[in-house]
């Protein structure tokens, strides 16, 4: 089986991307109610829903990078401009929303964080100039260490600079090592009929990353985040190779969907048992390393299942897909700030956690949808800052190529 660099449009990747960004809203609302560190915390925060959060925590961002790599491969196949022009357009598409987001969208998150955690009493108008000039005095003691809030920051927008760097690396590989990339896609295509090969394809590099780099904490600091890079750059490049391996590869994933799903769920159950059993005591070293392998296995098997089910059930176009695909980047940019601000607005109401969470989810989608509708009516530079690329009406009616928006 030869790799196919002119594969037809894979609509299921668009649907997966839409669902993955939608999942972020649910996940970040959940972060308000769990005991894990986040920008603000509900008075009702506990460990009650943490096992549910762990169902998606190992793989949700990996799915976005896998899709982004596949999207880049398809965009490069369809592009009609030189690599330099393509990269400049992609840089504007990613870095202008990042800059605007850091200056305008993200600051409310940091403001309510210092209000919630440090009892800051100043107004937002007092805080914003300090945020912009990189004030270093918002600090607290955690586990015996003085930790200060880094300002300005990109918070949830960290995905954009990482994707920009990975895109640049992929373009360099396309220029400097095209035969190696073609060989990789060809090797995957030839072995896609082997269930064992697909089961192990992403597991091995993810497990190696966890074994070798787990000592590096996840920082979302671009130049010192080696464990994160080992995971997500691997998945981005893997998505790039998968997209060039032909549709037979995605069909093979569809055949393995149930096995991959059951394996992912079984692994999740074992991980939850492990965390509960050793919550207050150190585990044996052999068991710790086994659990690292299982974490990587859950990451890959969940991705395999997601791609398999999507290939079978979602490989179709519709006007809804086109509208959601155009809106999802804007929703991503806005959603976390909307969640943080809404959570603080609802806090005085004293609602029970479940109805408050459902209201947060509903209002977040509504307000982000309204934000997208407003962005479509803004001048092109401001619209692009919110993730909306203005197009002539004739081209807006055409199918949007997968991955063009991110």
Q: What is the pLDDT of residue 144?
A: 75
Q: Which tokens go with 286?
A: 């052999």
Residues 218-263: pLDDT tens digits?
899 999 999 999 999 999 999 999 999 999 999 999 999 999 999 9
Task: Compute, in degrees rounded to 10, the torsion defined by CA atoms 314, 316, 320, 324.
Answer: 60
Domains of the chain, residue spans: 11-106+154-396
Report d(CA 292, CA 299) in Å as an integer: 11
Asked whether 402 and 14 are in contact (CB, 8 A), the reply is: yes
Structure tokens at 138: 């918002």
Distance of alpha carbon 75 from alpha carbon 98, whole angstroms: 21
pLDDT at 337 over 80: yes
Asked if residue 4 lies in contact with residue 247, where contact means CB atoms within 8 angstroms, the answer is yes
Name residue 148's beta-bridge partners: 139
Position of tokens 């003691």? Answer: 141
**Predicted local confidence at residue 400, as pLDDT:** 37
What mean pLDDT, rounded, does the chain reach?
92
- φ/ψ of 217, rounded to 5, equals -70, 150
Contact predicate 390/383, CB 8 Å: yes
Phi, psi of 319 (to 5 degrees): -60, -35
Measured between alpha carbons, how far is 306 from 294 in angstroms, rounded to an integer? Answer: 18
pLDDT tens per residue across span 157-197: 999 999 999 999 999 999 999 999 999 999 999 999 999 99
Q: Is 177 helix (H, G, I), strand (E, B) or coil?
A: coil
pLDDT, tens digit, 9 for 90 and up, residues 2-41: 445 455 578 999 999 999 999 999 999 999 999 999 999 9
Q: What is the pLDDT of residue 80?
A: 66
Find all residues with CB under 8 Å of 54, minimum gap 6, and list them.
268, 271, 272
Average pLDDT over residues 63-68: 98
């Amino acid at each position: 089986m030869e790799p196919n660099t002119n594969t037809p449009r894979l609509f299921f990747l668009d649907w997966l991307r839409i669902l993955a960004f939608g999942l972020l809203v649910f996940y970040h609302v959940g972060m308000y109610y769990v005991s894990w560190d986040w920008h603000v915390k509900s008075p009702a925060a506990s460990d009650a829903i943490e096992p549910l959060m762990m169902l998606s925590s190992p793989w949700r961002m990996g799915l976005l990078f896998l899709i982004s790599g596949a999207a880049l491969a398809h965009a490069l196949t369809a592009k009609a401009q030189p690599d330099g022009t393509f990269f400049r357009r992609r840089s504007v598409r990613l870095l202008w929303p990042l800059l605007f987001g850091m200056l305008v969208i993200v600051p409310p998150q940091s403001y309510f964080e210092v209000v919630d955690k440090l009892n800051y009493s100043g107004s937002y108008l007092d805080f914003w100039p300090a945020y912009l000039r990189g004030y270093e005095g918002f600090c607290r003691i955690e586990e015996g260490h003085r930790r200060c809030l880094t300002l300005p920051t990109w918070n949830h927008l960290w995905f954009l600079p990482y994707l920009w760097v990975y895109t640049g690396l992929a373009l360099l590989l396309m220029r400097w090592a095209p035969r190696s990339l073609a060989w990789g896609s060809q090797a995957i295509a030839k072995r896609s009929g082997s269930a064992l090969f697909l089961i192990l394809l992403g597991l091995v590099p993810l497990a190696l990353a966890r074994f070798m780099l787990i000592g590096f904490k996840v920082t979302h600091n671009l130049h010192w985040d080696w464990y994160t890079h080992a995971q997500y750059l691997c998945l981005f490049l893997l998505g790039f190779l998968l997209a060039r391996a032909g549709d037979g590869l995605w069909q093979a994933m569809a055949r393995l969907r149930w096995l991959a799903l059951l394996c992912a769920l079984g692994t999740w159950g074992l991980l939850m048992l492990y965390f509960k059993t050793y919550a207050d005591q150190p585990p044996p070293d052999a068991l710790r390393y086994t659990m690292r392998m299982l974490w990587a296995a859950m990451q890959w098997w969940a991705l395999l299942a997601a791609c398999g089910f999507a290939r079978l059930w979602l490989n179709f176009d519709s006007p809804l897909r086109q509208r959601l695909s155009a809106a999802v980047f804007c929703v991503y940019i806005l959603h976390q700030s909307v969640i943080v601000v809404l959570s603080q607005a609802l806090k005085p109401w004293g609602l029970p956690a479940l109805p408050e969470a459902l209201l947060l989810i509903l209002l977040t989608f509504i307000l982000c949808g309204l934000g997208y509708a407003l962005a479509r009516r803004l001048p092109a530079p401001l619209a692009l800052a919110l993730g909306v690329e203005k197009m002539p009406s004739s081209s807006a009616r055409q199918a949007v190529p997968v991955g063009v928006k991110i």
